[in-house]
């Protein structure tokens, strides 16, 4: 089978390529078979370049966020006189910055390629991370934390678009899981790394040294991302001409969205009328309001464990999170059209953990630690969330809006979540745990509702196809296009 490489835009697919201009020899590409062996080779080459750099960006981002939790038990609260809810606000204000960045992302992701957008912001957040070594009082820390959130929030919606551009729908859960695994790795081994840096004795406090080094690492990775990640498949330096064509076709035929430079208002209003758009916001809000990670070290420390043992006790939590993540990915592979139902089951693990933290007596230290580990297990839920968005939403402006509103919910939840933890209720924060239990229950209902809407729409399109509507017959796409999933009747939702 011979292919001719189409002319693909060189600035991150910033314009839609006319379908009529893209041809291959012998047969139409929508019907052309791709040799599985060649496709596996192409996928492996993509994975070797795209995923390691994406994983490193996620690792640095989570390392930066975890820096505050470890600094808290190594003198930050005392050095900056963080009393009452001041530490909670230091955690929350980061997400005000993230929230602001999501509003900017809607426009910027139409203007620039993902490699430039992410690369530049990673370098900037590395500089801001280093600046976190400077604060002398609470107000200084709050200002720097806001700027850090503003810089770091950009990566989230960009990676949703990037994964959907390079990978087929069935490959999305495992790739988002790899990104979540980077967060888990940063939580465990990255925690030990921060512990070692924070333990340094000298004229400069150890937690300040940790901020400086973590920020410098982020700058290096941002530069590598901007240099090595191709803006589009035509610029994929690691693929041959034939492999570039195959990389293009394998994703395009699954009704993938073309990158569009201009914001499309028709897609905006179409999205505003879609109930799924609001459910996606609440998914992220509920999951992130339930997070206990910034208070996990304080809970364990409050149970009487030393700073070193508190750090080591992050490792079993990481192991449990990794186990849940692997099981979620395997379940999505084994049951490819049941992602929403798998997620609803996954939410039961942290729900049980939050209930146990309410009912177990304080003297049962090890069972309480185990309950805390269970409550941290929501990375697998978040990763499958993202795969549902990337697989089910079509149209560049529409997909950008969905991924952005997801992270607006994420940021809003992360702002609200720390405020549930009242300083006077330390170390078990039982009121917070009651609220977390309720929110996981609501999340399960909203996930099932999203799946019901998608299933109902798939059935409606199947009926149209059976009645003779040729546009509703499911078929492979010829190429990238910018029709939305609402208007493309041949599109089917992944449940």
**Averaging pLDDT over each range in 2-6, 144-148, 189-193, which range is the top one?**
144-148
372 Cβ contact partners less than 8 Å away, ≥ 6 residues apart: 292, 296, 299, 300, 317, 353, 357
pLDDT above 60 (res 32): no
pLDDT band at 429 (very low <50, low <70, confident <90, very high): confident
Distance CA 21, CA 14 (A): 16
Section 255-281 average pLDDT: 82
pLDDT of residue 474: 84
pLDDT above 60 (res 2): no
pLDDT above 80 (res 240): yes
Distance CA 491, CA 399 (A): 15
CA distances from 133 to 59, 74, 152, 201 (A): 20, 13, 17, 15
pLDDT of residue 293: 63
**Torsional sign, CA 357, 360, 362, 363:** negative
pLDDT in tens, 347-373: 999 999 989 988 888 888 888 888 888
**Torsional sign, CA 297, 300, 304, 307:** negative
pLDDT of residue 117: 85
pLDDT of residue 334: 87
pLDDT of residue 225: 92
135 vs 77 pLDDT, higher one: 135
- Can you read off the two tokens belonging to residue 184? 């888990």
pLDDT of residue 161: 82
pLDDT above 50 (res 5): no
pLDDT band at 302 (very low <50, low <70, confident <90, very high): confident
pLDDT in tens, 315-350: 888 888 888 888 988 898 888 888 888 888 889 999
pLDDT above 80 (res 251): yes
Tokens 């490819």 locate to: 336
pLDDT of residue 391: 84
Indicate yes or no: pTM above 0.85: no
pLDDT above 70 (res 10): no
100 vs 273 pLDDT, higher one: 273
- Cβ atoms 285, 409 nearer than 8 A: yes
Instruction: Say how many C-beta atoms besides its own lie within 10 A of residue 107's C-beta.
Output: 11
Distance CA 295, CA 66 (A): 10
pLDDT in tens, 137-185: 888 888 988 998 888 877 777 888 888 889 988 888 888 888 888 878 8
Distance of CA 116 to the CA centre of its chain: 19
- Cβ atoms 396, 169 nearer than 8 A: no
Convert 138-155 to b/e letters by CB count within 10 Å (16 or more is b): beebbebbbbbbbbbbbb
Tokens 């998608």 locate to: 454
pLDDT band at 20 (very low <50, low <70, confident <90, very high): very low
Section 231-256 average pLDDT: 85
81 Cβ contact partners less than 8 Å away, ≥ 6 residues apart: 137, 138
pLDDT of residue 22: 39
458 vs 208 pLDDT, higher one: 458
Please report, rounded to a whole number, the percentage of residues in the chain having pLDDT higher than 90: 20
Which pairs from 422-429 meet CB under 8 Å and 24+ separation?
A: 422/85, 423/84, 423/85, 423/87, 423/88, 426/298, 426/299, 426/302, 427/298, 427/299, 427/301, 427/302, 427/303, 428/299, 428/302, 428/357, 428/362, 428/368, 429/295, 429/299
Q: Which residue(s) pair with 481 in the sheet?
A: 257
pLDDT of residue 335: 87
pLDDT of residue 477: 65
pLDDT of residue 75: 76
Instruction: Say how many C-beta atoms besides its own lie within 10 A of residue 294's C-beta.
Output: 22
pLDDT band at 260 (very low <50, low <70, confident <90, very high): low
- Can you read off the two tokens belonging to residue 134? 């400077």
pLDDT above 80 (res 262): no
Mean pLDDT of the chain: 81
pLDDT of residue 24: 36
Please report, rounded to a whole number, the percentage of residues in the chain having pLDDT higher than 70: 87
pLDDT band at 233 (very low <50, low <70, confident <90, very high): confident
pLDDT above 50 (res 1): no
**Averaging pLDDT over each range in 71-75, 239-243, 410-414, 473-477, which range is the top one?**
239-243
Distance of CA 400 to the CA centre of its chain: 14
What are the structural domain ranges in the chain? 47-230+266-472
pLDDT of residue 261: 61
For domain 47-230+266-472, give the fold: Growth Hormone; Chain: A; (1.20.1250)
pLDDT in tens, 464-478: 999 989 888 887 766
Q: Inter-axis angle of helices 339-346 and 314-334, to 10 degrees?
A: 150
Section 258-280 average pLDDT: 84
Tokens 């990037």 locate to: 162
């Amino acid at each position: 089978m011979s292919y001719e490489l189409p002319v693909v835009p060189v600035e991150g697919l910033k314009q839609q390529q006319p379908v009529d201009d893209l041809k291959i020899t012998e047969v139409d590409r929508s019907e052309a078979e791709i040799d599985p062996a060649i496709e596996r080779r192409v996928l492996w080459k993509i994975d070797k370049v795209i995923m390691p750099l994406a994983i490193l960006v996620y690792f640095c981002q989570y390392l930066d966020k975890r820096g505050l939790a470890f600094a808290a038990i190594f003198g930050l609260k005392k050095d900056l006189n963080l009393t009452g809810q001041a530490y909670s606000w230091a955690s929350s204000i980061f997400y005000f910055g993230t929230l602001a960045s999501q509003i900017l992302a809607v426009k910027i992701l139409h203007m620039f390629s993902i490699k430039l957008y992410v690369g530049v912001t990673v370098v900037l957040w590395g500089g801001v991370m280093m600046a976190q070594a400077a604060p002398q009082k609470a107000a200084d820390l709050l200002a720097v934390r806001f700027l850090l959130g503003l810089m770091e929030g950009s990566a989230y919606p960009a990676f949703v678009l990037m994964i959907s551009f390079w990978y087929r729908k069935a490959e999305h859960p495992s790739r988002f899981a790899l990104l979540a695994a980077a967060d888990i790795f940063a939580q465990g081994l990255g925690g030990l790394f921060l512990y070692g840096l924070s333990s340094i004795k000298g004229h400069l406090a150890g937690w300040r040294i940790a901020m400086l080094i973590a920020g410098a690492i982020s700058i290096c990775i941002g530069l590598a991302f901007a240099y090595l990640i191709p803006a589009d498949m035509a610029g994929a330096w690691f693929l041959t001409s034939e492999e570039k064509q195959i990389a293009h076709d394998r994703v395009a035929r699954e009704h993938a969205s073309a990158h569009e430079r201009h914001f499309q208002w028709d897609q905006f209003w179409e999205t505003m009328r879609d109930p799924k758009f609001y459910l996606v916001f609440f998914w992220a809000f509920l999951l992130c309001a339930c997070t206990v990670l910034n208070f996990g070290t304080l809970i364990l420390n409050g149970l009487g464990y030393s700073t070193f043992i508190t750090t080591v006790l992050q490792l079993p939590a990481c192991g449990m999170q990794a186990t849940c993540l692997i099981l979620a990915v395997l379940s999505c592979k084994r049951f490819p059209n049941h992602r929403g139902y798998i997620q609803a089951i996954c939410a039961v693990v942290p729900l049980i953990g939050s209930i146990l933290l309410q009912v177990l007596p304080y003297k049962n230290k090890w069972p309480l630690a185990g309950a805390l580990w269970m409550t941290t297990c929501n990375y697998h839920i978040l990763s499958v969330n993202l795969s549902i968005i990337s697989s089910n939403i079509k149209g560049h402006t529409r997909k950008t809006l969905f991924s952005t509103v997801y992270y607006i919910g994420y940021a809003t939840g992360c702002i609200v979540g720390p405020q549930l933890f009242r300083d006077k209720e330390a170390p078990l924060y039982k009121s917070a745990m009651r609220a977390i239990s309720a929110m996981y229950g609501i999340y399960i209902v909203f996930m099932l509702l999203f799946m019901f809407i998608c299933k109902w729409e798939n059935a409606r399109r199947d009926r149209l196809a059976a009645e003779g509507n040729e546009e509703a017959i499911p078929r492979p796409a010829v190429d990238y296009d910018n029709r939305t999933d609402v208007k493309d009747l041949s599109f089917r939702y992944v449940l």
